[in-house]
Structure 1
Amino acid sequence: MLAVAVLAAGKGTRMKSELPKVLQPLAGATLVERVLGSCRHLAPDRQLLIVGHQAERVEASLAALEGLEFVLQQPQNGTGHAVQQLLEPLQGFSGDLLVLNGDVPLLRPETLEALLEQHRSRGAGVTLLTARLDDPSGYGRVMADASGRVSAIVEHRDCSPEQRLNPLINAGIYCFNWAQLAAVLPRLSSDNDQGELYLTDTVAMLESATHLEVADAAEINGINDRIQLAQCEAVLQERLRRHWMAEGVSFVDPSSCTLSEGSRFGRDVVVEPQCHFRGHTEVGSGCRIGPGCLLENARLGAGVEVLYSVVRDAVVGAGCSIGPYAQVRPGSNLGERCHLGNFVEVKSSSLASHVKVNHLSYIGDADLGAGVNVGAGTITANYDGVRKHRTVIGAGSKTGANSVLVAPIQLGENVTVGAGSTLTRNVPSGALALGRARQLVKENWAGPQG
Structure 2
Amino acid sequence: MYKCAMILAAGKGKRMKSSMPKVLHKVCGKEMINHVIDTMRKAEIDDVNVVIGTGSEMVKEATQNRNVIYSLQENQLGTGHAVMCAKEFLQNKEGVVAIFTGDAPLIKSETVKKLIKYHVENDFKATILTSIIDDPAEYGRIVRNEKGEVEKIVEFKDCSENEKNINEINSGMYCFNISNLLSSLEKLNNNNAQGEYYLTDVISILKNQGEKVGAIDTDFEETLGVNSRVQLAEVEAIMRNRINRCHMENGVTIISPENTYIGDEVEIGKDTIIYPGNVIEGKTIIGESCVLYPNSRIKDSIIENNVTIQSSVILDSKVGENTTVGPFAYIRPESIIGKKARIGDFVEIKKSTIGDGTKVSHLTYIGDAEVGSGCNFGCGTVVVNYDGKKKYKTIIGNNAFIGCNTNLVSPVEVEDNTYIAAGSTITQKVPEGALAIGRAKQVNKEGWVDKKGLRK
TM-score by length of 2: 0.94
Cα distance, 1:27 vs structure 2: 1.7
Letter aligned with residue 90 of structure 1: L
Q: Does 1:433 align with 2:448?
A: no
Equivalence for 1:385 = 388
Q: What SS is found at the alignment partner of 1:63?
A: helix
Cα distance, 1:448 vs structure 2: 5.2
Equivalence for 1:59 = 60
Q: What SS is found at the alignment partner of 2:443?
A: coil
Distance (whole Å) between structure 2 residues aligned to residue 61 and residue 387 of structure 1: 32
Distance (whole Å) between structure 1 residues aligned to residue 78 and residue 129 of structure 2: 19
Letter aligned with residue 58 of structure 1: V
Deviates more, 1:179-188 or 1:5-14: 179-188
Pairs within 5 Å for 1:9-88: 9-44=10-45, 46-66=47-67, 68-88=68-88
Distance (whole Å) between structure 2 residues aligned to residue 147 and residue 427 of structure 1: 89
Contact 2:32 2:105 in 1 (8 A): yes
Q: What SS is found at the alignment partner of 1:130?
A: strand
Equivalence for 1:322 = 325
Equivalence for 2:360 = 357
Distance (whole Å) between structure 1 residues aligned to residue 79 and residue 278 of structure 2: 41
Deviates more, 1:141-150 or 1:230-239: 141-150
Equivalence for 2:409 = 406
Q: Does 1:101 align with 2:101?
A: yes
The structure 1 residue matched to 2:379, chosen from 376, 382, 390, is 376
Q: Deviations over 1:337-394 (max 9, x none)?
A: 0001111111111111100011111111111111100001111111100011111111
Equivalence for 2:450 = 446
Distance (whole Å) between structure 2 residues aligned to residue 119 and residue 147 of structure 1: 18
Cα distance, 1:267 vs structure 2: 1.3
Q: What SS is found at the alignment partner of 1:40?
A: helix
Q: What SS is found at the alignment partner of 1:56?
A: helix
Q: Deviations over 1:10-57 (max 9, x none)?
A: 111111112111122222321111111212244336322111112222
Cα distance, 1:446 vs structure 2: 3.1
* CA distance 1:370–1:87, shift in 2 (3 Å): closer
TM-score by length of 1: 0.96
Q: What SS is found at the alignment partner of 1:105?
A: coil
Q: What SS is found at the alignment partner of 2:432?
A: coil
Contact 1:148 1:211 in 2 (8 A): no
Q: Deviations over 1:320-352 (max 9, x none)?
A: 011111111111111110001111111111111
Contact 2:37 2:66 in 1 (8 A): no
Distance (whole Å) between structure 2 residues aligned to residue 284 and residue 46 of structure 1: 34
The structure 1 residue matched to 2:250, chosen from 244, 247, 250, is 247
Deviates more, 1:234-243 or 1:25-34: 25-34
Equivalence for 2:293 = 290
Equivalence for 2:195 = 195
Letter aligned with residue 295 of structure 2: G
Q: What SS is found at the alignment partner of 1:34?
A: helix
Cα distance, 1:170 vs structure 2: 0.4
Cα distance, 1:449 vs structure 2: 5.5
Cα distance, 1:242 vs structure 2: 0.9
Contact 1:394 1:412 in 2 (8 A): yes
Distance (whole Å) between structure 1 residues aligned to residue 374 and residue 358 of structure 2: 5
Q: What SS is found at the alignment partner of 1:245?
A: helix
Pairs within 5 Å for 1:223-302: 223-302=226-305
Pairs within 5 Å for 1:96-135: 96-135=96-135
Equivalence for 2:212 = 208
Letter aligned with residue 323 of structure 2: C
Distance (whole Å) between structure 1 residues aligned to residue 404 and residue 397 of structure 2: 18
Contact 2:260 2:277 in 1 (8 A): yes
Letter aligned with residue 213 of structure 1: D
Cα distance, 1:195 vs structure 2: 1.6
Distance (whole Å) between structure 2 residues aligned to residue 342 and residue 154 of structure 1: 62
Q: What SS is found at the alignment partner of 1:371?
A: coil
Distance (whole Å) between structure 2 residues aligned to residue 403 and residue 41 of structure 1: 53
Contact 2:97 2:177 in 1 (8 A): yes
Letter aligned with residue 7 of structure 1: L
Distance (whole Å) between structure 2 residues aligned to residue 291 and residue 274 of structure 1: 5
Cα distance, 1:4 vs structure 2: 1.1
Give 5+ residue unaligned stretches, structure 2: none
Cα distance, 1:288 vs structure 2: 0.8
Letter aligned with residue 91 of structure 1: Q
Q: What SS is found at the alignment partner of 2:65?
A: coil
Cα distance, 1:59 vs structure 2: 2.1
Letter aligned with residue 386 of structure 2: Y
Q: Does 1:419 align with 2:434?
A: no
Cα distance, 1:447 vs structure 2: 7.1
Contact 1:268 1:285 in 2 (8 A): yes
Deviates more, 1:70-79 or 1:88-97: 88-97
Aligned residues: 448
Distance (whole Å) between structure 2 residues aligned to residue 94 and residue 342 of structure 1: 62
Q: Deviations over 1:174-230 (max 9, x none)?
A: 01122222222222222222121111011122112221111x211000011111111
